[in-house]
Amino acid sequence: MPDETQQGGSGLAGAASLVITAWALLGGLLLLAVVGVNMVSIIGSIFGKPFPGDFELTEMGVAVAVFAFLPYCQLVGANVSADIFTSGASKRTIAFFTLLGSLVALGFASLLIWRMYFGMLDQKEYDYTTTILQIPHWIAFIPILVSLALLAVAAVVTLLRDASALAKG
């Protein structure tokens, strides 16, 4: 279970935590919107007026929502790890291991920002759109890039937290 008290903190880290949590909640609302689209589609098909494009709205909506969840996962430590092998290790050693984890997350976020930015340009250049509603795919990449930037921020926050735990020993 993520420790809720870890979210707070003062100054910049605290502000970053708030923004990241709010962004995840926005993702949750988007997920609810996808639920709404599916409900409209079901009710529509009962009355013989199916809602075209519910598939692609679901796909796109869920993808964008899930990206919005990633920074929050990093922040509260929701990404599962196997703790059993190191349960006997000292606090310092464990802080070092979680610091490595934060570094990997930071590297991953930076790499994906770089690659998915070019991914977005590709989608734009080739005019990739969804089949029925013709929504350009690159639009989805904008909130996703924001999510990845926040993931990098979250990784920095956890990195600093681990580093100070390591320094204290």
Partner 1 sequence: MTDALVLGLGALAVLVFLIAIRIPIAYAMILVGGVGTMMLNGPALVLSQLKTLAYGQFSIYDLSVVPMFVLMGAIASKIGLSQALFRGANAWLGWMRGGTAMAAIAGCAGFGAVCGSSLATASTMGKVALPELRRYNYSGALATGTLAAGGVLGILIPPSVVLIIYAVIVEANIVTMFMAAFLPGILAVVMFLLTIAVYVAIKPASGPKGGVASSTEFVEATVGMIPVLVIFGLVIGGIYFGFFNPTPAAAVGVFLVLFFGLVQRKLSRTDFVAALKETAGTSGMIYLIILGAELLKIFMSRVGLPQETAAWIAGSGLEPMTVLIILLIALIFLGCLMDSLSMILLVIPFFWPVLVEINGGIYQGADGAGFGMSTDDLKIWFGILALIVVELGLITPPVGMNVFVISSLARDTPMIETFKGVVPFFGAEVLRVILLVSFPAITLWLPQVLR
Give the closest residue to 51 by CA, choosing from 42, 60, 59.
Answer: 42
**Judged by CB under 8 A, which of 73, 152, 156, 157 binds partner 1?**
73
Residue 85, Cβ density class (10 Å: 0-12 exposed, 13-18 middle, ≥19 buried): exposed
CA–CA dist 69, 2 (Å, integer): 14
Least Cα distance to 102 among 146, 149, 160 occurs for: 160
Does residue 33 belong to the site contacting partner 1 (CB under 8 A)?
no
To which H or E segment does residue 60 belong? helix 54-76
Question: CA–CA separation, 107 vs 67, rounded Å?
Answer: 16
By CB under 8 A, residue 66 contacts partner 1: yes
How many Cβ atoms from other residues are within 10 Å of residue 82's Cβ? Answer: 7
Site for partner 1 in 114-153 (CB under 8 A): 115-116, 118-119, 122-123, 137, 140-141, 144
- 24 makes contact with partner 1 (CB under 8 A): yes
Q: For the CB of residue 161, give the shortest distance to partner 1 in the complex, in Å.
A: 15
Q: Which of 12, 15, 18, 39 binds partner 1 (CB under 8 A)?
A: 39
* List of residues contacting partner 1 (CB under 8 A): 2, 21, 24-25, 27-29, 31-32, 34-39, 41-42, 54-55, 58-60, 62-63, 65-70, 72-73, 76, 78-87, 94, 97-98, 100-101, 104-105, 108, 111-112, 115-116, 118-119, 122-123, 137, 140-141, 144
